[in-house]
Amino acid sequence: MKKTGFIVLGILVLLVVFDRVIMPLYISQGTTKTVPDVTGMQFEDAVNALHAAGFEAKKSYHVKYLPRVDANIVLSQMPEAGESVKPQRNVYLVLNRQDRPMFSMPDFYGRPETDVRESLDRFEMTVDGVEFNTVTNPDEDGKVVGQSIPPATMVSYGSSVSLVVGRLDLMEEVRRKAIVPDVLGMPLGQAERVIADAGLTVGLITYEYSSILASNTVISQSPAVSASVSPKQEVDLTVTSSSE
């Protein structure tokens, strides 16, 4: 009986060792697979590649919408490429979000058209059309003075907007110019009145000795006679002085 008991006990020990030691070692050998790299693939191609390698593919999405990124391209994967994992494990494939988020339409008034187009491009927005509006303020020339979608309106990526851009009236600009009068040879007081009547201001006055001309006679001016200048521009004068 003792001999039989030892045999039974030995068999039980062998079974335990086989089940707890040998089998786990056997199973752990050759039962892992390397995850293939499927980033940058179309989702369907990535799924097929994972199935062929013995894995299951699961779709997930990026935390935010990425402009100009194909919604069917695999951005990343988990587990990462090259990891050794058990067969049939799920591999999560991250794609770009398909729902385009809303954002508040910026106020483009007073900004150059080129800058506005760059801003719209970041939101994947297109310019549906540009209308030019004549302006008399030089600061508005080439600047956006109107937009079809009012500022602060909620719009989505990919929307379109029309712009109104200012274009300076050249004739108005010419009309706004002042002509420098001829004050050469005039007494200083008279020259100052003539300059003021022309819409200009007297600038720097420089004195130069002359033994021939009467004192305070204008002998030089800048800008030159008949020059076209902006209103209120200064006209510098050189006048005579009786003292050296």
pTM of the model: 0.43
Is residue 85 predicted with pLDDT exceeding 90? no
Q: Last residue of a domain, which of 172, 197, 232?
A: 172
Q: Which of 95-104, 154-163, 224-233 has the lowest mean pLDDT?
A: 95-104
**Dihedral class, residue 128 (left if φ above 0, else alpha if ψ from -120 to 50, else beta):** alpha
Domain of residue 221, CATH code: 3.30.10.20
The mean pLDDT of 172-185, rounded to a whole number, is 83
Same domain, 83 and 138: no
**Which of 32-41, 185-194, 225-234 holds the top average pLDDT?**
185-194
Separation between Cα atoms, residue 96 and residue 98, nearest integer Å: 6
pLDDT above 70: percentage of residues in the chain: 86
Same domain, 94 and 38: yes
What pLDDT score was predicted for residue 15? 47
Q: Last residue of a domain, which of 58, 73, 98?
A: 98
SS3 89: coil
Contacts of 25-33 spanning 24+ positions with Cβ under 8 A: 31/86, 31/87, 32/84, 32/85, 32/86, 32/87, 33/84, 33/85, 33/86, 33/87
**pLDDT tens for each residue of 47-74:** 999 999 999 999 888 887 887 788 889 9
Same domain, 38 and 79: yes
- pLDDT band at 44, cuts 50/70/90? very high
What pLDDT score was predicted for residue 230? 87
Separation between Cα atoms, residue 149 and residue 152, nearest integer Å: 9
Same domain, 198 and 217: yes
Same domain, 106 and 166: yes
What pLDDT score was predicted for residue 24? 52
Nearest Cα neighbor of 60 from 45, 71, 70, 68 is 71
- CB–CB of 169/144 below 8 Å? no
Nearest Cα neighbor of 163 from 131, 201, 122, 139 is 131
Q: Last residue of a domain, which of 123, 141, 172?
A: 172
Same domain, 129 and 147: yes
Same domain, 152 and 210: no
- CB–CB of 142/115 below 8 Å? no
The boundaries of the domain holding residue 206 are 177-241
CA angle, corner 108, sides to 107 and 114, nearest 5?
155
Report the domain count for the chain. Answer: 4
Same domain, 76 and 48: yes
Separation between Cα atoms, residue 230 and residue 201, nearest integer Å: 11
